[in-house]
Structure 1
Amino acid sequence: MKKSGCALLAVFLALCASMFFNLVLIGLLGAGGAENIASSHSFPPELREMVVEEGDPSQGKIAVIPVQGVIQTADASEWGTSMVDDIKKALRVAAADDNVKAVVLSIDSPGGEVTASDIIYNEVLKVQKEKPVVVAMSSLAASGAYYIACAADWIVANDTTFTGSIGVIIQSLNYEGLFDKVGLDEVVFKSGKFKDMLSGARPMTPEEKAYIEGMVKQVYERFLGIVAQSRDLDAGKLREGIADGRILTGKDAQQAGLVDQLGYIEDAFDKARKLAKVPEAEVIRYEPSLNFSRLLHLLGASAQSRLQLNVGPAPAFRLQPGRAYLLPEFYAW
């Protein structure tokens, strides 16, 4: 029995060692592949280029950069950092590469945090000053995602795209009634009268409500101004009309002047080629390099997901109290 147990242990250790060295080898090959792609500009080793549409390499490239999911700075992304950092990195790589003649932002997002959306918007503006930027809207490009799209030269939406939702939301949950039922009281020590103005254990005072509404209005006016300027629309008419938080289909958005063209992502590629005057340019996208650290990241994420109990659908994104969001109302839970 002891010999059998030792033999099984030896086999197990050998398999583990083999798997480890295979991962190291694959990681080294992946890192080498990323280095081969690098050109005269500084190409980060954690990224590699993948061809989306073949073309004439001598005419340069159109870089596709995705903006997907709720826009936020907190969660780690597939590249190991945050979504905002990943998009900034991809935009800067595209801007620094002389072979990239235009950028297509592929957007499928309900929006997200105000500051996160504004950071990406500002980064897209920097690229747009150097080379054409085209937005291709997928199923959803609302609120903060539309905020980002306003930095582009041209916006393509599908007939069935949901976009618009020009507005700002701050949410807090009031649980005062629940506390009363279970006999709980919140004890607060604060340095100023507004320090706990979003506390859910008590009603907000009229002064606190006015203060929060003022903050929302300030951010909303910035959003409205960006839309009006980028789309050459009257801010007053927007405020009295479609800029009330409503969702619009792609067709309605085009009629309202929020998008330029109805079509598909291939139409966005064609428009980018036309604006950059490179009709046969190939289309590429950036992906994480297959290296050892990337494999460990994937294995860690996989192990973490297995620890979750499958008791129903994944919870929806929840707004965090005190944060301002550019999101449709149906995400405000």
Structure 2
Amino acid sequence: MNAVNIAGLWCLEESFAMRMWGIVEPRLKAGKEPFAPAMVAGHPARTIQATLQTAGKSILAGTIEYYQYVVNAYTVEGVCVIPVMGTLTRYGLCSWGYEDLAGLLAVADGQESVKAVVLRIDSPGGAVDGVKVLADAVRAVKKPVVVWTNFCASAAYFVASQAREIWVEEQTLYAVGSIGTLMVYTDQSEALKKAGLKVEIMRASESTDKSRMNGTEPLPDETRAEIQGILDASQKEFAGYVRRGRAGLLTSDEWKTAKMYGVRDAIRIGLADQKGTLRQAIQRAAQLAA
């Protein structure tokens, strides 16, 4: 868990981001890791690793041999169904990270037994760091890649937008969108002052820009401007990927405000193609491969 970076830029559905921060902040203040072990207990890699150990196989996670094992395990009748679940990060939190998922796609693309891929997405999005790696990996797959989702927001949609088709489960809840970028910053300087605490950060003489965004000191105007510039650049890149991946399918630019959409509206504005079950999406992927 120490490898998980909860700072920096995020492409997360807003309400989920606020709930997530509500969990993380008190744990960090208490000197604990940002996420309790129970929150990541369902990581598919844990189950696979346990299966490998039971079978007496010594396969290291992240190796080509590991990816081949996973792809074979998740392939039925020529269609490899890869789960993309929970909050997404470069190295994984609730599911495989961007790099592992990209590795699985590369192996599936080169495996003769795999004719098509379905990304089964249930995710509010995740970190900006690494999301391009996976989005480019989806686009690079020569075989048909179809997305099926019940919830695909922000960074998850960044990835999904590069697939051949996007299928959405029929439901009344918001399912697709939040195409936006944010950063959570908590200025604790006033709270510390009211508590009678005066925290002073000492820096080396030449380290004038060291850790200017620290939550203890007020955020300098120049740092705020830099962050805004990074956020805007990230958002421009995000929108560019969506336009490229959904070229000829988008009917408006209303999605640029980072709004979430229900199934019908997502299809109406071109963020999704069809509504249906996972089974129908798998059948469609096989049909595209024929």
Whether these two folds match at TM > 0.5 is yes
Q: Is the 8 A contact 2:74 2:81 kept in 1?
A: no
Give the one of 226, 230, 243 matched to 2:245: 230
User: What is the root-mean-square deviation of aligned Cα atoms in Å?
Assistant: 3.0
Corresponding residue for residue 97 of structure 2: 83
Corresponding residue for residue 254 of structure 1: 267
CA distance in 2, matches of 1:123, 1:133: 11
Corresponding residue for residue 18 of structure 2: none
**Cα shift at 1:274:** 1.2
1:67 and 2:92 are equivalent in the alignment: no
Corresponding residue for residue 214 of structure 2: 199
Corresponding residue for residue 184 of structure 1: 197
**Cα shift at 1:165:** 0.3
Gaps of 5+ in 1: 1-23, 35-41, 56-60, 278-333
Corresponding residue for residue 154 of structure 2: 143
Corresponding residue for residue 292 of structure 1: none
Gaps of 5+ in 2: 1-49
1:132 and 2:144 are equivalent in the alignment: yes
Show the 5 A alignment for 1:36-75: 43-44=65-66, 47-48=69-70, 49-50=72-73, 55=77, 61-75=78-92
Distance 1:245 1:44, change over 3 A: same
Distance 1:45 1:228, change over 3 A: closer
Corresponding residue for residue 167 of structure 2: 156
1:159-208 alpha-carbon deviations (Å, 9 max, x no partner): 33521101000111111111102222232216465443322123323332
CA distance in 2, matches of 1:204, 1:45: 44
Which amino acid in the other structure matches residue 86 of structure 1? D
Q: Is the 8 A contact 2:86 2:94 kept in 1?
A: no
Q: Is the 8 A contact 1:111 1:117 kept in 2?
A: no
1:21-48 alpha-carbon deviations (Å, 9 max, x no partner): xxx9x9474539x9xxxxxxx7538825
Corresponding residue for residue 101 of structure 1: 115
Distance 1:236 1:174, change over 3 A: farther
SS in structure 2 of the partner of residue 98 of structure 1: coil
CA distance in 2, matches of 1:228, 1:52: 30
Corresponding residue for residue 112 of structure 1: 126
**Cα shift at 1:73:** 2.7
SS in structure 2 of the partner of residue 63 of structure 1: strand
**TM-score, normalised relative to structure 1:** 0.62
SS in structure 1 of the partner of residue 88 of structure 2: coil
CA distance in 2, matches of 1:199, 1:144: 25
Distance 1:163 1:30, change over 3 A: farther
Which amino acid in the other structure matches residue 109 of structure 2? A
CA distance in 1, matches of 2:90, 2:74: 28
Corresponding residue for residue 169 of structure 1: 182
CA distance in 2, matches of 1:184, 1:151: 50
CA distance in 2, matches of 1:63, 1:74: 21
**Cα shift at 1:237:** 5.2
Distance 1:45 1:152, change over 3 A: closer
Distance 1:131 1:211, change over 3 A: same
Q: Is the 8 A contact 2:145 2:164 kept in 1?
A: yes
1:92 and 2:106 are equivalent in the alignment: yes
**TM-score, normalised relative to structure 2:** 0.70
CA distance in 2, matches of 1:51, 1:255: 32
Distance 1:75 1:275, change over 3 A: closer
Q: Is the 8 A contact 1:43 1:93 kept in 2?
A: no
Q: Is the 8 A contact 2:125 2:153 kept in 1?
A: yes
Corresponding residue for residue 37 of structure 2: none
Distance 1:180 1:146, change over 3 A: same
How many pairs align?
Answer: 231
CA distance in 2, matches of 1:230, 1:45: 26
Which amino acid in the other structure matches residue 100 of structure 1? V
CA distance in 2, matches of 1:258, 1:45: 30
1:219 and 2:226 are equivalent in the alignment: no
SS in structure 2 of the partner of residue 141 of structure 1: strand
Which amino acid in the other structure matches residue 57 of structure 2? A
Distance 1:181 1:110, change over 3 A: same
Higher alpha-carbon Rg: 1
Show the 5 A alignment for 1:17-32: 27=53, 29=55, 31=57
